[in-house]
Amino acid sequence: MLHYNNSATACPMPPVPTMHPVRTSTRLDNVRYEIRGELAQRALELEAKGHEIVKLNIGNPGLFGFSVPEHVRAAIERNLARSEAYCHQKGLESARATIAMQQHAHGVVNAIPEHIFIGNGVSELIDLALRALLNDGDEVLLPSPDYPLWSAATTLNGGSPVYYPCPATRAHLPDPDQIEALITARTRALVVINPNNPTGAVYPRELLQALVRIADRHGLLLLSDEIYDEIVYDDAEFVPLAQLAQDVPCLTFDGLSKVQRACGYRVGWLSLTGAPAVLTELVHGLDLLASLRLCANVPGQWAIAPSLEGAATIAQLTAPGGRLHEARRAIVESCAQSRFLDLVAPQGALYAFPGVRPALLPGFDDQTFALNLREQESVLVVPGSGFNFSARNHFRITLLPQAAQLREVFARIERVLERMAVTGIPDRHVA
């Protein structure tokens, strides 16, 4: 018969481990992305409970019934069997050659395939470019409001965002003199988002020329986010910044997510132009970082050539009578009819940035408004302060829904603003 000794000395219990929370980097402390933040998370919770939420927080064409052009999709299908190995870290040679040819056609005569890098969307390339450029404490000039990825990528790579204002009183365009006054010995780059997200502003040629002169005087790298380059309305003219920059170093970011409605393909590229003698070190740094992530997804790269060489299918959507043009008209007219809203009509991109008249709603707070709109009227928008904008009386809304739905959305917005005007205090009602 076996006998077991149950004494503590014979079978000591293992010590209870001390649980320490896993700490994150302090660089995350100042990083925000309200587009997919707490408001959006709460909307998902409401949807899970059976509520229908009109989600206007993200410019995601596929969720609103837009499709990738058939000839673009077919190119991926044809080349899928050729996509099973890593490609060059910069991307497929044929795709980079096509991008360079498109830039030549747009007046960017010094674009070359060797200075083009294809990535998993523009977002990855923004992070890669700033990682190659910045030392701790270096400053990057960013528009306010900005697309918040730019601020986040600057901060996460050790840099300091410095904002130049683009208020509604100037049609959301910057003042070159104000920009130049912000430059210090630590300033490394000037970011331009044109056509602009979130405001829809399209920068005039004369303004872009002034920004090039500033960069040239102070030895700054120009970073031009042009993902909405072909999405313009009425008589607005898009001018590529690199066309004007010539020998001034310029990184241009573009891709398929918006113009080709191919967000899920995650295909973007950057092109570095300027005087060759000053680009060598930066090209090497970009190449090293591109190598570390091996390559961008290969199947999507086969969509680049047919996208840039085929028919400009976005034009029929932005022309009068086209779906995007009519959606924009619905927003412009709804704001004009509102007792509370002002709007600088968007000239490009996929968004509008209405502002609430402070005189009619003193103490208005964009976060509280967005909360009320979601909880009371089941509409999700992004507060303007989520775009690093100091004025707290704006919100961003996408142009992607049908015009009729947008008119209904603005009727709901008006009801929320009326309630806030009647109570005279912010209503933080939560269902």
Is there a single domain that holds both residue 110 and residue 56?
no
Better pLDDT: 123 or 1? 123
Q: Are 113 and 105 in contact (CB under 8 A)?
A: no
Distance of CA 229 to the CA centre of its chain: 13
163 token code pair: 């904002």
Tens digit of pLDDT for each residue in 277-323? Answer: 999 999 999 999 999 999 999 999 999 999 999 888 999 999 999 99
Beta-carbon contacts of residue 44 (< 8 Å; ≥ 6 apart): none
Last residue of a domain, one of 309, 332, 351: 309
Q: Which helix (H) or strand (E) holds 342?
A: strand 341-342
Q: What percent of the chain has pLDDT over 70?
A: 95
Residue 9 has pLDDT above 70, yes or no: no
Q: What is the arithmetic mean of pLDDT over 184-193?
A: 98
pTM of the model: 0.91
CATH classification of the domain holding 43: 3.90.1150.10
Is there a single domain that holds both residue 35 and residue 119?
no
Is there a domain that residue 70 lies in?
no
Is there a domain that residue 271 lies in?
yes
Residue 4 has pLDDT above 70, yes or no: no
Is there a domain that residue 337 lies in?
yes
Pairwise CA distance, residues 187 & 130, whole Å: 13
Is there a single domain that holds both residue 292 and residue 333?
no
Last residue of a domain, one of 274, 289, 309: 309
Is there a domain that residue 38 lies in?
yes
Is there a domain that residue 370 lies in?
yes
* Residue 339 pLDDT grade (very low, low, confident, very high; cuts 50, 70, 90): very high
Tens digit of pLDDT for each residue in 10-37? Answer: 567 777 777 888 887 888 877 776 767 7
- What is the count of structural domains for the chain? 2
Is there a single domain that holds both residue 150 and residue 38?
no
Report CA torsion sign: 271, 277, 278, 279.
Answer: positive
Instruction: Return the pLDDT at 48.
Output: 80
Tens digit of pLDDT for each residue in 363-375? Answer: 899 999 999 999 8
Tens digit of pLDDT for each residue in 229-256? Answer: 999 999 999 999 999 999 999 999 999 9
Cis peptide before 195 (omega within 30 of 0): yes
Q: What is the arithmetic mean of pLDDT over 183-192?
A: 98
CATH classification of the domain holding 233: 3.40.640.10
Is there a domain that residue 11 lies in?
no
Is there a single domain that holds both residue 305 and residue 370?
no
Q: Which residue has the tokens 């395939």?
A: 113
Tens digit of pLDDT for each residue in 65-105? Answer: 999 999 999 999 999 999 999 999 999 999 999 999 999 99
Residue 431 has pLDDT above 50, yes or no: no
CA dihedral 82, 88, 93, 97 (to 10 degrees): 140
Is there a single domain that holds both residue 95 and residue 116?
yes
Pairwise CA distance, residues 58 & 2, whole Å: 69
Instruction: Return the pLDDT at 429.
Output: 44
Better pLDDT: 39 or 240? 240
The overall average pLDDT reported for the chain is 92
Is there a single domain that holds both residue 52 and residue 179?
no
Is there a single domain that holds both residue 108 and residue 48?
no
Is there a single domain that holds both residue 181 and residue 103?
yes
Instruction: Return the pLDDT at 35.
Output: 66
Residue 428 has pLDDT above 70, yes or no: no
Taking alpha carbons only, the member of 428, 131, 413, 84 closest to residue 287 is 131
* Residue 430 pLDDT grade (very low, low, confident, very high; cuts 50, 70, 90): very low
Per the structure, the complete domain to which residue 404 belongs is given by: 26-65+316-423
Instruction: Return the pLDDT at 150.
Output: 96
Q: Are 334 and 247 in contact (CB under 8 A)?
A: no
Is there a single domain that holds both residue 33 and residue 100?
no
Q: What is the arithmetic mean of pLDDT over 37-59?
A: 79
Is there a domain that residue 51 lies in?
yes
Last residue of a domain, one of 309, 336, 353: 309
Q: Are 420 and 361 in contact (CB under 8 A)?
A: yes
Is there a single domain that holds both residue 204 and residue 253?
yes
Is there a single domain that holds both residue 260 and residue 285?
yes
Is there a domain that residue 389 lies in?
yes
Residue 234 CB neighbour total at 10 angstroms: 12
Q: What is the DSSP string of 42-88?
A: HHHHHHHTT---EE-SS--GGGGT----HHHHHHHHHTGGG-SS---
